[in-house]
Chain A
Amino acid sequence: MDFIPTTDADKQEMLHQIGVKSVDELIQTLKPYLQNKLDLSRPLSELGLVNQLTILSQKNKVLKYFIGAGSYNHYIPAAVAHLILRGEFLTGYTPYQPEMSQGTLQTMYEFQSFICILTGMDVSNGSLYDGSSALAEAALLSSSYKDRKSLFVSKGLNPEYFKVLKTYSEGAGLTISNELNEDTACVIVQNPDFYGNIENLQYLSEQAHNVGALFVVCVIEPTSLAILEPPGNYGADIVVGEGQSFGLPMNFGGPYLGFIAVKNFLLKKIPGRISGMTTDSNGNRGFVLTFQAREQHIRREKAGSNITTNEALMAVASTIYLSLMGKTGLLNVAESSYARAHFLRDKLVSIGLTSLNKNPFYNEFIMQAPFGTSKRILSNLFGNGILGGYDLGDDKILICCTELNRIKDISSFVTIAKETIN
């Protein structure tokens, strides 16, 4: 199956008008030219394709997830997929021509507004690739703004995020240090942290500012923001994070939705696209990409970031998700996730596991299983169709609940763990 409408007769006419006998004549400057056809596979019809890919998808096993660690299994209202499949959202590109892309630009403005409200910040961009690369961009931004080369990373950052931060830092000549001093560009902290702990970060924020560093808060499970104090209120200069929880499927890791929001003084340093409200010649409200002079297509080697294509459609999905959920719905998600996680934690404590969270937690928590039992617990759960958590080693398991974990499955989890320990 191909998607080429040109008939043989059209082709002959076109070649004639161009003044050549064949397409080959047009590509004489293409060297070296392949003599043989590529051996990829037999072309497929749509039905053939659907058949093969359906079979392939069924080789995957979707389980009952009690795991988060950077990717969260939340319910997505049906209207989200219906709306983002509209060709007008799906098949346009970067809104460089505002008169033809008000839909994308207004949605981007609404997305920026949602992110600012949730994080307590002044300015958000239209999206970055994912939470981990957004964090790396925040580090580069801090280094460039402060003209300092050291990053202080608080314990409890998601290890995948740490890896990405380290990779970008090495490329840019920055160092990750556990010293807070005059060369510290920023202090980075995840909240709730990788182990689920919610911290009062006021003190750390003050310490960062005392050495003249920026304070960067990373939020990877953003439904927590429905109930938690927004980072802007405890001193964050930059808030970055992952928007997957807001209406995006887990999708084996992507496409996800990085976000970055800053306080006003960093407006001209923020990477990526920003939509701004303005008016047309008749005074009608409209939206344009603004402050483009920050970006690579204008500033080239002087740009702070090379980002161009972002996760626009994912931002549209999240905006629609947040609109559908509203204040009531988002609170329900947070409260339901919180309740299920705490319920499971208490049940596991009652059968002999130890809770390791010293701080309050939201929907992820660590349990210490009796010596030598965690692997067996996880494997017995697996045998019953449950992915029971993220194995931290040393019999520690990082467990997560959302509104999608049924009480029935929580009970099975506890029963299986209990039988394993006994």
Chain B
Amino acid sequence: MKLIFEYNESNSIHISTIRDLDDDATNGYEQLEKYTPIGLPDELLRKELSLPNVSEPTVVRHYTNISQLNYGIDIGFYPLGSCTMKYNPRVNEDIARLDGFQNLHPLSDEECCQGSLKLMWELEQKLKAITGMDAFSLQPAAGAQAELLGVMMTKAYFRQISQTQRTKIIIPDSAHGTNPATASMCRFGTITVPSDSRGNLDIDRFRQTLQNDVALVMLTNPNTLGLFEENISEISDLAHKNGTLMYCDGANMNAMLGIAKPADQGFDLVHLNLHKTFSTPHGGGGPGAGTLGVRAFLADYLPLPRVTKNDDRYVFDYAQRKSIGSVRFCYGNFGTLVRAYSYIKSLGNNIGNVSKNAILNANYLLTLLKDDFEVPFDRSCAHEFVLSSERYGDKSALYISKRLMDYGFHPPTIYFPLTVREALMIEPTETEAKETMVRFASALKDIAQELKEKPDFVKGSPHTRHIGRLDEVAAARKPNLRWTPPIHSD
């Protein structure tokens, strides 16, 4: 496929010069013509702008063509574990693009943004109801940023109560990489605790590591093995008795909507990934939104402004309290909040059906596959599960993934969590039909058979994509990370 820079055409003019909007001006635009940046001092001016000129028909065709090299939920099954690739309702795209939402400047007067403030306030109430938390910040742009906010708040809290000796965070060995990376960004040390034989956090090891230097325990529930932490209340009690706070990585909230609340499990902080649980589109890697919920004693540390309600009026509350500051410009990924709010409004009181069906689908698919792959922990799963393809040999998870593409499926998450060899982490979500899971299971079984009968063929897959296996080693050895304009001799 050509690069957009490799075209040289007559540009379609989307914005001309100064007259676009001013044909009805009785005077003025002639006066505009005398204002030109050419008058700026030479050392401030750009000498060359090597952007391509391409006609609109070509631009539209170029991006339509390259979009077709992608795979998305709209095309087929996308069981990428831990990412909750559920259907993204199209109506929410239209709603987010309503003039009043999309074209509002963030520094508008309160009087001009009552609709947006009401939406943010109500979304916060709904997230509070879903999680049992007492207050939410809608500011973080993604789960990882919410983690960062949560850990910063934890640090500020312990500074406030003069317990600065708490310099460590306990993280299970199955945790997402963001958890330890976040801890480091805030200069906390990490203590890794292994899982036990049932896939729970090893509670004896946990007890040993829980000293008075531990600020926080970061857990994912259900964990990344797709299993509910059976001892969650005991873990929380132990942590709290030690003066340690409990953080819930809510990436897997799609297993608990309407059927369990992180607050009831003893968590003090929880982040929700709106692009996962609440169906806002993943967009090829973003935008997301990572709201952070906390219990009342931490609410004063949240970023400002908070949105509050006075009678029927919604207002920004900038009262300082102990706020840690801000992690980004203004109030958050508002457009993403609109989509998540719309999703919650659609489901309303029936939101529990989401998680129940997600759990049903995952257990059904697990049942279809459990004789053909190792199941590291013999338990019912939550909304996702982890298999091991170890019996099919070294690198088999990779080969299976690539071959699945030929069957028209997106592969699951592979080699994660790190604690399971040849891991395939599969999350079907509630928006898939039974028939899809039957087809997927049958594809996996066929591939397993193929790996025995014609391993080289499988190792060379995918065979039907427009492109074969790409040379990642060469990409890193001889980095080509941008197009470079040709040097003109004139």
Contact = CB atoms under 8 A, between A and B. Distances in A.
Interface string A312-354: 1110100110111111111111111011101100000000000
* Most-contacted residue by chain B among A23, A39, A100 (CB, 10 A): A100
Contacts of B328: 129-130, 132-133, 164, 254
A294 to B, nearest CB: 11
A250 interface: yes
B450 interface: no
Given A230-B46, A313-B283, 16 more contacts: A6-B430, A49-B95, A53-B338, A54-B98, A88-B69, A88-B71, A90-B93, A92-B282, A98-B467, A110-B483, A132-B328, A166-B325, A250-B103, A254-B330, A255-B286, A296-B177
Given A38-B258, A104-B70, A329-B15, A312 B283 contact: yes
B388 to A, nearest CB: 19
Contacts of A70: 106-107, 329-330
B59 A323 contact: yes
B185 A140 contact: yes
Nearest to B367: A18
B100 A58 contact: yes
Contact of A112 (B85, B228, B482): B482
Interface stretch (A177-185, A205-213, A271-279, A365-373): A271-279
Given A79-B59, A92-B284, A60 B332 contact: no
B35 A164 contact: no
Interface in A41-63: 41-44, 46, 49-50, 52-54, 56-63
Contact of A252 (B104, B178, B255, B286): B104
B180 interface: yes
Nearest to B230: A29
Contacts of A61: 100, 108, 111-113
A410 B35 CA distance: 15
B21 A3 contact: no
B239 interface: no
Given A254-B287, A297-B177, A329 B344 contact: no
A44 B287 contact: no
Nearest to A38: B258
A273 B330 CA distance: 24
A161 B329 contact: yes
A196 interface: no
A286 B5 CA distance: 16
* Most-contacted residue by chain B among A102, A312, A403, A408 (CB, 10 A): A102
A406 B21 contact: yes
Given A312-B283, A314-B287, A324-B12, A291 B329 contact: no
A209 to B, nearest CB: 18
Contact of B350 (A43, A77, A117): A43
Given A41-B345, A339-B33, A62 B470 contact: no
Interface in B318-348: 324-336, 338, 342, 344-348
Nearest to A345: B35
Contacts of B12: 324
A132 B329 contact: yes
Interface in B142-163: 142-145, 147-148, 151-152, 155-156
Interface in A75-102: 75, 77, 79, 81-95, 97-102
Nearest to B304: A163
B252 to A, nearest CB: 12
Interface residues of B, number: 208
Contact of A100 (B71, B181, B474): B71
A4 B471 contact: no
B434 A14 contact: yes
A406 B282 CA distance: 37
A76 B325 CA distance: 32
B411 A97 contact: yes
Interface in B204-236: 222, 227-228, 230, 232-233
A306 B107 CA distance: 29
Given A79-B60, A229-B46, A306 B185 contact: yes
B118 A4 contact: no
Contacts of A104: 70, 284-285
A88 B78 CA distance: 12
Contacts of A102: 1, 66, 69-70, 466-467
Interface in A271-318: 273-282, 284-288, 290-291, 295-303, 305-314, 316
A331 to B, nearest CB: 7
Contacts of A89: 67, 70, 72, 283-284
Contacts of A274: 481
Interface string B99-124: 11111111111011111101100000
